[in-house]
Amino acid sequence: MAEHKFDMDPFFVEPNLKHKSVTLSVRNQDTMTWFAKKPFTIFRFQPKDDKKNAPYPFHFDPAMELESEEGTDGIWRINSGPPRKEAIGFGYEAKFRHGTRRSPAAQAAQGDPDVDIGP
Class of domain 3-118: mainly beta
- The pLDDT value given to residue 51: 76
pLDDT tens string for the chain (119 positions)? Answer: 799 999 999 887 887 778 888 999 999 999 999 999 999 999 889 898 877 789 999 998 888 889 999 999 999 999 999 999 999 999 998 888 888 776 655 455 555 677 888 89
- The pLDDT value given to residue 115: 83
Residue 42 φ/ψ, nearest 5 degrees: -95, 120
What is the H or E stretch that residue 84 is in?
none
- Give the residue extent of every domain in the chain: 3-118
- The pLDDT value given to residue 106: 45
Starting at the earlier edge strand, list the strands of the sheet with 40-47: 22-25, 114-118, 91-98, 40-47, 66-67
